[in-house]
């Protein structure tokens, strides 16, 4: 459902995977929707009332119209899923009648329902291998965050998900914690693959602080900037930052918080900050990749926030970019989660319990007062990214896994 030119989230990684495969001389055809994320409106240059085709970096792209909700609720998101199920079915049927045959069909979830299209395609091409790649445990998140409240709907979706897992040639996901949760859903999964979200080190890399960029964005150059960049939604629990900013304005005035991104709760958060007159909170748009890299290198600390009940439902992709620039990261994560394992286990950052304002404040204070710890964590983060997260290494390993399916 999501694809290039979306700047963040699942579309970014699906686009980079497709383009890299095309560079390696694979013939790649993509069926996707019109780009809309994370702004939840159609990007300039695209129309949502017709099917359209284009070629991006050697990848043939067939775009299907889909419903884009103005107000995000569980019901509106399900309507979007069903609209894409219908239109992507028609697009895939068009490819079938043109006798397009592929060795592999890679379905990316969300949307989970797209897995049904993959199974239907394989019914007509029995030699095709279906790879079901899970970026986000969408049903679990909807249930645990109370986004879908109808038990009948949840039960139906879980049965559909189990049917897809059972019939896929292989199931891939982005972390070991998510893999464990997936294996509890179905005992008949044929093969599992870990495909972590990677870093393109030609675009995200260590560089010097850019004071002129900070000034251009309206950010203070004489303060310690703490950055949150990415989606702003229910899973992140960003309202805790309002309390932290209130504390900092009195106790640590040299700290300023920068929130870069958009999402269903972004405007609400901005309005609350303005109403409370928090002058140490700054809201900026998502930045183009070159400026984003400079921004990552120009702040003191990065935040990766996650609610306790979102544990191992998704692994925030922003963490990879932060580590690639050797950034100092403060993470809220529960014990025994993939996020905690990577950050605490490899000492690539500092972990505090989620949904706990006091713990977050204490973590910021500790790092503020222990420069030697900061230096060590940043060095470990850069080393981890170089060793495990380089795009070429990650995708080449995935290709080797495909050969064994």
For each of the domains in the chain, give its residue range(s) and CATH number, in order of start: 10-197+390-403 (3.40.50.2000), 211-388 (3.40.50.2000)
Confidence of residue 270 (pLDDT cuts 50, 70, 90): confident
- Rounded CA separation 181/146 (Å): 19
pLDDT in tens, 340-363: 999 999 999 999 999 899 999 999
Q: What is the pLDDT of residue 269?
A: 86
Q: What is the pLDDT of residue 233?
A: 67
Please indicate, yes or no, whether the overall pTM of this predicted structure exceeds 0.75: yes
Confidence of residue 264 (pLDDT cuts 50, 70, 90): low
Q: What is the pLDDT of residue 50?
A: 95
Confidence of residue 58 (pLDDT cuts 50, 70, 90): very high
Q: What is the pLDDT of residue 20?
A: 97
What dihedral angle (degrees, nearest 10) is formed by the CA atoms of 204, 3, 67, 236? -30
- Rounded CA separation 229/316 (Å): 11
Is the pLDDT assigned to residue 105 strictly greater than 70? yes
Q: Is the dihedral of CA 28, 31, 35, 40 positive or negative?
A: negative
Q: Are 44 and 53 in contact (CB under 8 A)?
A: no
Is the pLDDT assigned to residue 147 strictly greater than 90? no
pLDDT in tens, 380-391: 999 999 999 999
- Burial bucket for residue 218 (CB in 10 Å: 0-12, 13-18, 19+): exposed
Q: Is the dihedral of CA 203, 208, 213, 219 positive or negative?
A: positive
């Amino acid at each position: 459902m999501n694809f290039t030119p979306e700047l963040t989230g699942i579309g970014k990684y699906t686009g980079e995977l497709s383009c890299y495969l095309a560079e390696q001389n694979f013939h790649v055809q993509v069926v996707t929707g019109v780009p809309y994320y994370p702004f939840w409106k159609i990007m300039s240059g695209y129309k949502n009332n017709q099917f359209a085709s284009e070629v991006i970096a050697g990848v043939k792209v067939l775009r299907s119209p889909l419903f884009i909700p103005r107000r995000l609720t569980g019901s509106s998101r399900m309507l979007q899923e069903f609209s894409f199920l219908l239109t992507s079915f028609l697009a895939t049927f068009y490819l079938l009648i043109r006798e397009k045959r592929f060795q592999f069909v890679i379905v990316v979830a969300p949307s989970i329902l797209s897995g049904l299209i993959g199974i239907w395609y394989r019914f007509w091409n029995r030699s095709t291998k279906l790879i079901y790649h899970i970026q986000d445990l969408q049903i679990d998140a909807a249930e645990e965050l109370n986004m879908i409240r109808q038990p009948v709907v949840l039960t139906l979706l879980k049965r559909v998900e189990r049917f897809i897992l059972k019939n896929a040639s292989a199931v891939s996901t982005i972390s070991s914690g998510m893999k464990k949760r997936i294996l509890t859903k179905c005992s008949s999964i044929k093969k599992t693959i870990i495909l972590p979200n990677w870093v393109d080190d030609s675009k995200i890399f260590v560089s010097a602080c850019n004071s002129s960029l900070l000034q251009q964005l309206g950010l203070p150059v004489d303060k310690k900037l703490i950055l949150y960049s990415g989606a702003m939604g229910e899973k992140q629990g960003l309202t805790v930052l309002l309390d932290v900013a209130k504390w900092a304005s009195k106790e640590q005035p040299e700290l300023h918080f920068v929130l870069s991104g958009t999402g269903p709760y972004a405007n609400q958060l901005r309005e609350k900050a303005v109403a409370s007159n928090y002058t140490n909170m700054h809201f900026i748009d998502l930045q183009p990749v070159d400026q984003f890299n400079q921004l990552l290198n120009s702040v003191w600390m990065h935040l990766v926030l996650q609610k306790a009940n979102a544990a191992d439902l998704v692994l925030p992709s922003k963490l990879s970019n932060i580590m690639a620039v050797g950034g100092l990261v403060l993470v809220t994560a529960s014990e025994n989660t993939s996020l905690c394992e990577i950050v605490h286990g490899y000492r690539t950052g500092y972990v505090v319990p989620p949904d706990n304002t006091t713990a977050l404040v204490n973590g910021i204070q500790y790092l503020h007062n222990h420069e030697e710890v900061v230096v060590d964590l940043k060095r470990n983060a850069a080393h981890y990214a170089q060793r495990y997260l380089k795009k070429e290494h990650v995708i080449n390993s995935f290709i080797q896994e495909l050969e064994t399916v």
